[in-house]
């Protein structure tokens, strides 16, 4: 059951002010950390880069150019995966602290029968829906989770979900829309997404407590 990993690192970094995936964290680029950890669980890894960017990180099967949207970039990575792939794991380079155990957990959930598995963490804050500057509703959070990557998929289910060329903030949403069964495994609070410079400072503090990869 070949497992392929796709590390998405094609973002422009507008909110960060630079291509954050290539920023160093204790001397190791975010994308390199993501690829190295993916490789501990996945048999083959594809990295998706900005157009024209050369790959100089850990060994990968392929480095391909991404597209205009995240979903386009995932499709580019998926096209580079062999058709005999059984499970595909999609991970964002902006989450450099995901553990190998988390990769293994989502893969095992798919092996157990799910079409997709995503890590989720409980929400700590109260969530409100707003209209302009007014609160429209307070959302009960008991059954809400914040979803992370890596996300694992039965390869055939992921290919079907992407066949229509739709966009979504994560691939599990496309599998859901296609009628697939998506399960949640416990996420990792330390698996933060580096979006702004302040997140990099937090990631640096967390990374100091771990061994790379």
- Match domain 3-207 to its CATH number in 3.40.50.300, 3.90.600.10, 3.40.50.2300, 3.90.550.10: 3.90.550.10
Instruction: Check residue 96 and give its pLDDT.
Output: 97
pLDDT at 18: 87
- The DSSP string of the chain is --EEEEEE-----TTTTS-GGGSEETTEEHHHHHHHHHHTT-SEEEEEE-TTPPP-SS--SEEEE--SSHHHHHHHHHHHS-TT-SEEEEEETT-TT--HHHHHHHHHHHHTT-SEEEEEEE--S-EEEEETTEEEEEEP-TT-EEE-S-EEEEHHHHHHHHTT----SSHHHHHHHTT--EEEEE--TT-----SHHHHHHHHHHHTTS---
pLDDT of residue 12: 83
pTM for the model: 0.95
Give the chain's residues under pLDDT 50.
none
Output the pLDDT for position 14. 78
Structural domain boundaries in the chain: 3-207
Confidence at residue 15, expressed as pLDDT on a 0 to 100 scale:
79
């Amino acid at each position: 059951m070949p497992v392929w990993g796709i590390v998405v690192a094609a973002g422009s970094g507008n909110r960060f002010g630079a291509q954050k995936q290539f920023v160093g964290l204790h001397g190791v680029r975010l994308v390199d950390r993501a690829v190295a950890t993916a490789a501990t669980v996945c048999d083959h890894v594809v990295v998706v880069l900005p157009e024209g960017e050369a790959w100089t990180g850990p060994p990968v099967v392929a480095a391909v150019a991404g597209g205009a949207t995240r979903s386009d970039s995932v499709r580019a990575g998926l096209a580079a995966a062999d058709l005999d792939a059984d499970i595909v794991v999609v991970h964002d380079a902006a989450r450099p602290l995901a553990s190998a155990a988390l990769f293994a957990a989502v893969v095992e959930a798919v092996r157990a029968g799910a079409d997709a598995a995503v890590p989720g963490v409980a929400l700590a804050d109260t969530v409100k829906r707003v209209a302009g500057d007014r609160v429209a509703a307070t959302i009960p959070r008991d059954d809400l989770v914040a979803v992370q990557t890596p996300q694992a998929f039965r390869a055939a289910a992921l290919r079907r979900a992407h066949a229509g060329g739709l966009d979504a903030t994560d691939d599990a949403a496309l599998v859901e829309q296609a009628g697939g069964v998506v399960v949640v495994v416990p996420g990792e609070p330390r698996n933060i997404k580096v979006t702004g410079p302040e997140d990099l400072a937090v990631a640096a503090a967390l990374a100091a407590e771990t061994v790379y990869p």
